[in-house]
Amino acid sequence: MATRATDAGTNQSVERAVSVLRALDSGRPELRVSDVAELTGLGSSTTSRLLSTLERLDMVERDPVSNLYRLSLGLLPLAATATNRHPVHRAARMVLQGLATRTGLGANVAVRRGGELMFLCNFEGTRAPKSYTQAGHTAPLHATSIGKCLLTGLAPEERRRLLGDPLDAHTEYTTTSHDLLDAEIDTVRRTGYAVEAEERALGRASLAAPVRDASGDIVAAISLWGPTSVLGDRSDAEQQRLALVREVIEAADAISQALGAL
């Protein structure tokens, strides 16, 4: 029997299977069938059938003792291929590795996916040994320097529609006003880089620069992140931060040139 499509050109069974996979990526390492059903809004029997099918396809695996489900390593080759074939990842990987080695700070590259950013790769540094980001992880656009760079390509009204109002607070220092965010993005456009201190996590700061393609559009951004003692706004760290700003802008320019930007 043909599967009913919810919209022209879509297939309901595929949509449901993808929703199950995304539920298993919701933050908890393992889930019961009932947990997946609740997260997806599907019935328990439908959820159970989908999980069984995905298990046979090596997309999910079931713990034989607890009967809890988790994502399978069978997804890893697909994810690795998608990442490694992405033009931004190919252009940025070696540049970021060198940036992290020279500065001792963490180095990231990310692209915008709807109202969030998605990291494509991350390198740790000696002064930022604990990474809080991994390839495929998402983060808020308004509370990160890398996200603010990605937002500079959008008009204010488009940013409001995309991010909603008010903006979510992640710490007491997060920018939650669109008017303040607009002013910050104007500064990014003027200076060519963005800074953020403790907006997403206390004790951490970052600075970022946009990456452009051959058409001149912002298609990605890179960032350096580390402790506020290095990247914060303390006066005794100002000279060090200015040197790091030059590093990240030069790295972003190198990636842009690899993507065909003039």
Do residues 28 and 91 both lie within one domain? Answer: no
pLDDT digits (tens, 9 = 90+) for 126-164: 877 566 667 778 889 999 999 999 999 899 999 999 998
- Of the three residues 77, 102, 134, the one that is the final residue of a domain is 77
Rounded mean pLDDT, 157-182:
92
Do residues 65 and 130 both lie within one domain? Answer: no
pLDDT digits (tens, 9 = 90+) for 206-262: 999 999 999 999 999 999 998 887 776 654 567 778 889 999 999 999 999 999 987
Centroid of chain to Cα 102: 23
The confidence score (pLDDT) of residue 242 equals 85
Do residues 53 and 171 both lie within one domain? Answer: no
The confidence score (pLDDT) of residue 227 equals 86
**CA dihedral sign of residues 143, 144, 145, 151:** negative
User: Does 4 map to a domain?
Assistant: no
- Of the three residues 51, 77, 103, the one that is the final residue of a domain is 77
Do residues 35 and 107 both lie within one domain? Answer: no
- Stretch among 63-67, 85-89, 92-96, 103-107 having the lowest mean pLDDT: 85-89
> Residue 107's closest CA among 222, 243, 218?
222
The confidence score (pLDDT) of residue 232 equals 67
Coil, helix or strand for 209? strand
Do residues 114 and 188 both lie within one domain? Answer: yes
Q: Which residue has the higher pLDDT, 239 or 91?
A: 91
The confidence score (pLDDT) of residue 130 equals 66
Half-sphere exposure of 72 (CA within 13 A, CB side): 17
Q: Look up the domain containing 16 and give its range.
A: 12-77
Q: What counts of helices (H) and strands (E) characterise the chain?
A: 10, 8
The confidence score (pLDDT) of residue 133 equals 66
Do residues 208 and 117 both lie within one domain? Answer: yes
Distance between CA atoms of 116 and 220, rounded to whole angstroms?
Answer: 12
Average pLDDT of the chain, as a whole number = 87
Do residues 58 and 94 both lie within one domain? Answer: no
The confidence score (pLDDT) of residue 95 equals 95
Do residues 199 and 252 both lie within one domain? Answer: yes
Do residues 72 and 100 both lie within one domain? Answer: no
Please state the φ and ψ torsions of residue 228, each to the nearest 5 degrees: -65, -25
User: Does 206 map to a domain?
Assistant: yes
CATH number at residue 26: 1.10.10.10
Instruction: Please state, for a pLDDT cut of 90, what percent of the chain lies above it.
Output: 56
The confidence score (pLDDT) of residue 209 equals 97
Number of domains the chain is built from: 2
Rounded mean pLDDT, 175-201:
93
CATH number at residue 172: 3.30.450.40
Do residues 192 and 248 both lie within one domain? Answer: yes
User: Does 20 map to a domain?
Assistant: yes
Number of residues that make up the chain: 262
Those residues whose C-beta lies under 8 Å from the C-beta of residue 42, and which sit 6 or more positions away, are: 16, 19, 20, 36, 50
Q: Which residue has the higher pLDDT, 52 or 128?
A: 52
Q: Hey, how many other C-beta atoms are within 10 angstroms of the C-beta on 66?
A: 9
Rounded mean pLDDT, 21-45:
88
Distance between CA atoms of 153 and 164, rounded to whole angstroms?
Answer: 17
Pairing of strands 106-113, 218-227: antiparallel
User: Does 7 map to a domain?
Assistant: no
Distance between CA atoms of 255 and 85, rounded to whole angstroms?
Answer: 15
- Of the three residues 22, 46, 77, the one that is the final residue of a domain is 77
Do residues 31 and 94 both lie within one domain? Answer: no
User: Does 114 map to a domain?
Assistant: yes
Rounded mean pLDDT, 69-97:
87
The confidence score (pLDDT) of residue 83 equals 76
Do residues 176 and 156 both lie within one domain? Answer: yes
Task: List the alpha helices (DSSP H) in the chain.
Answer: 12-23, 33-40, 44-56, 76-84, 87-103, 145-151, 156-163, 178-191, 228-231, 238-258
Instruction: Please state, for a pLDDT cut of 70, what percent of the chain lies above it.
Output: 92
Half-sphere exposure of 253 (CA within 13 A, CB side): 9
- Stretch among 53-62, 78-87, 104-113, 234-243 having the lowest mean pLDDT: 234-243
